[in-house]
Structure 1
Amino acid sequence: MTAEVAVALPAFVLVVLLGLGALGAGARAVRMQDAAADAARALGRGDSTAVAVAAVAATSPTAGLAVDRPGELVCVTVTDRARIGVIDLPVQGRSCALTGGR
């Protein structure tokens, strides 16, 4: 092994690990968006808040849920944290649905 490879290999491994962590954070953000959509649809149908909380908890037990009802809509924001190595990033998903179940 040459000296150049010995110096470049740790940097290459670090870049690959950070890239994989970023992909994981992106996948978590997509899951948060899906959970928000499921919860918003459930609340829009007139289901209880417990159903929406269960939909979010099935995706991530540590996720937070916030509900907003502007006019004829019910909007849900789901927030969680994604870790990329030592970096802790917030991720969130937001979705709205018409309130037709009342």
Structure 2
Amino acid sequence: MTPVRADERGSVTAELALALPAVALVLLLGAGAMGAAARQVALQDATADAARLLSRGEGEGAASHALSAAVPGASMSSSTSGDLICVSAQTAVTIGGFVRVGVRASSCALAGGL
């Protein structure tokens, strides 16, 4: 074992003090990204539900309520293309308290509820 020189004392503490904020930032961003991915999945599921509601003849209000109940703060728009009724939704997700990312989802259902 090599003896510790007097001028190297405390170097591990200094290195830890420099590395710890970077590790905390990576963990914070990773957790935020997982939250954004979960929000994306919830938004996709809610748009599918809204498209099915519209295809069964429910009103735009019912579809919008179902979407906003599942993903608060989300906005939606719907369109018809042939026999398909499509719903697009979007919302914003904040990662780590300072990075804001837009999340979008869309889904279509066959008109008539079939």
Deviant stretches of 4+, over 4 Å: none
Residue matched to 1:28: 39
Q: For residues 94 and 70 of structure 2, what CA distance do their matches in structure 1 show?
A: 16
Alpha-carbon separation, structure 2, partners of 1:36 and 1:48: 14
Q: Percent identity?
A: 49
Of 72, 76, 101, 1:89 maps to 101
Q: Which runs of 5+ in 1 are unaligned?
A: none
Q: How far is the alpha carbon of 1:6 from its aligned partner?
A: 1.0
Query: Displacement of 1:21 after TM fit?
Result: 0.4
2:58 aligned counterpart, secondary structure: coil
3-state DSSP class of the match of 2:107?
Answer: strand
Alignment root-mean-square deviation, CA: 1.1
Amino acid in structure 2 at the alignment position of 1:29: Q
- Return the offset for 1:61: 2.9
> What is the aligned partner in structure 1 of residue 71 from structure 2?
60
Which TM-score applies when normalising by structure 1? 0.94
Give the partner amino acid of 2:50. Answer: A
Structure 1 segment 1-102 matched on structure 2, within 5 A:
2-85=13-96, 86-101=98-113
What is the total number of aligned residue pairs between the two structures? 101
TM-score (norm 2): 0.84
- Equivalent AA in structure 1 for residue 77 of structure 2: A
Shift of 1:60: 2.4
The answer for unaligned runs of 5 or more in structure 2 is: 1-11
* Secondary structure, counterpart of 1:21 in structure 2: helix
